[in-house]
Structure 1
Amino acid sequence: MKIQVIDNVGQIQPHLLMAEADVDFYSDEIQALNAAERYQPGLILLSFAMRGSETADYTNLLLRASPLSNIVIIGDDLREEQILDCVMAGAKGYQNSQSLAAYINRMIRAVAAGEAWLSRKIVTYVLDAIHQNYLVQTV
């Protein structure tokens, strides 16, 4: 699988150096966006530190450029609302960077198999957001 890492703080790369995958690393968001469009990676690991509060918007841009890519946000103890914004923009998961080493291989396999990589708590927030949207549309 082709994996693209977008990370300007170096928190993801050390965990993927031994991965059995085709991995490209980008620290520039424009180059990363262009590469996503050109190479259509199966998985994009996006550091929340790259765009901060604009990560959901950038996720949306990445998915417009590479619609079949699965995006997982990597960050440090993000608030539920921040994760939810990214998931609603199209991200397939979130992983806390402090436990990335312990979960990275399982995460890659799960997302490659079409699964989401989210805690049960975040799934509840996603379901609540969908329900609220449904209620607004039916009223």
Structure 2
Amino acid sequence: MIRVLLADDHAIVRQGLRALLSAVDDIEVVAEAENGREAIEAAERHQPDVIVMDYSMPHLNGLEGTRRIVQMFPHTRIIVLSMHADEEYILQFIRAGAAGYLLKDAIATDLIEAIRHVMRSRRFICPSLPPEVLESMLDDLQAGRLQSPLESLTNREREVLQLIAEGLTNKLIARKLGISIKTVETHRAHIMN
């Protein structure tokens, strides 16, 4: 039985995915999360084999959630379910350690196939992506151009970046993380470089 965690900020999406996957004999949905932080907690609590992760979620986006889960639970496979067909989005998740990337306009059998595929330790990239995106990604992979500017950031800097993206001020970030405003400003300066 393949144990799956669903992480999406829309309840109706999670419910639809749960209904779809519950009809599959070898897949069991063990938990749901509505943001990246909950996904990390649920991954720790339920130890799923696969996480189906949305990109755009509050409190901690799917990219940072993926990065942290891959570090904490290297045997858990993550499939990103996103509306973004842009090469850069896909490459960011591959760099972060995602095993699969599926567009939200994919058909149900694509998701089931993706879950089974990543369980065999293979990558799964949505077959409905435009051929030029796939070709460009393969070129980047072969040329070794997968280095992301985000990879040079520390975990704390990524955390500050996430809170900046959520619209928090330096003062609120400092309070939330238990650090000084000056430290937040230093992190912000390094992020911008």
TM-score tier by shorter-chain length is 0.7 to 0.9
Structure-2 separation of matches of 1:87 and 1:132: 9
Q: Look up the SS of the partner of 1:50 in the other structure.
A: coil
Question: Counterpart in 2 of 1:47?
Answer: 54
Unaligned runs of 5+ in 2: 148-193
Question: Counterpart in 1 of 2:24?
Answer: 19
Structure-1 separation of matches of 2:101 and 2:52: 9
1:28-39 counterparts in 2 under 5 A? Answer: 28-39=35-46
Contact 1:13 1:25 in 2 (8 A): no
Contact 1:11 1:97 in 2 (8 A): no
Unaligned runs of 5+ in 1: 134-139
Question: Counterpart in 1 of 2:3?
Answer: 2
- Which of 105, 109, 114 does residue 116 from structure 2 map onto? 109
Matched, 1:74 2:77: no
Change (3 A) 1:39 1:19: same
Q: CA RMSD in A?
A: 2.6
Give 4+ residue runs of structure 1 displaced > 4 Å after superposition.
none
Matched, 1:130 2:135: no
Give the TM-score, by structure 1 length. 0.79
Give the TM-score, by structure 2 length. 0.59
Shift in Å, 1:126 = 5.0
Residues paired across the two proteins, number: 133
- Higher alpha-carbon Rg: 2
Range 106-115 or range 28-37, more displaced: 28-37
For residues 62-86 of structure 1, what are the alpha-carbon distances to aligned partners after superposition, in whole Å with 9 as ceiling and x for unaligned? Answer: 1123221000100113311011011
Greater relative contact order, per chain length (Cα 8 Å cut-off, separation 6+): 1
- Identical counterparts, % of pairs: 23
Structure-2 separation of matches of 1:12 and 1:124: 31
Q: Look up the SS of the partner of 1:94 in the other structure.
A: strand
Change (3 A) 1:68 1:26: same
